[in-house]
Structure 1
């Protein structure tokens, strides 16, 4: 004897499980849906070449980003948008290296 099973409850259960899992991961911060305004573009930064004996001017107000050296790679943390972190890359998509091996203990406000 063959009995047919109704597949609709199984499909609804599967979809609900997937949505519940994604919702739980998002709620607890393991899943982040990136928005275009979250991105920091490299063209927003300029490298100022310092020449010994020459004066240069920079703004007194600090930037909204803080750089830390983590495992020899320069990592930028945004202080205005919580959770926005990035690695500084050059034009060849290579990570910019730094000399120290410090790990951040606490972000500055």
Structure 2
């Protein structure tokens, strides 16, 4: 009893399942396809050094990014583009740390 099965329906079902799964994850926001314009460069941010007795001016409208301290590292979230977040780093790609929380330590 050697029956040969047609593999084409099985292959089409598998490919269709993958497409529907990826589409559902993307639709509900669990999957984000990054584009080059989504990236925020460090050069887009400037630190204003505050000195005692000196005034500095900033815009009244807030930036579309919000920062949160997670595991001792400053993480930026973009409020305009859903799912876009990143770690604030310096020129040497070192993460900017937060005060008031324990910083992660490398175990030896």
Q: Tell me the TM-score normalised to structure 2 length.
A: 0.75
Does residue 66 (structure 1) correspond to residue 72 (structure 2)? The answer is no
Gaps of 5+ in 1: 102-109
Q: 2 CA distance for matches of 1:34 and 1:66?
A: 19
How many residues are aligned here?
Answer: 101
Q: 1 CA distance for matches of 2:64 and 2:20?
A: 35
Could you tell me which residue of structure 2 aligns to residue 84 of structure 1? 84
Does residue 2 (structure 1) correspond to residue 2 (structure 2)? The answer is yes
**Offset, 1:15:** 0.5
Runs in 1 of length 4+ with deviation above 4 angstroms?
none
Aligned 1:1-109 pairs, distance under 5 A: 1-101=1-101
Measured on the aligned residues, the alpha-carbon RMSD in Å equals 2.0
Moved more, 2-11 or 51-60: 51-60
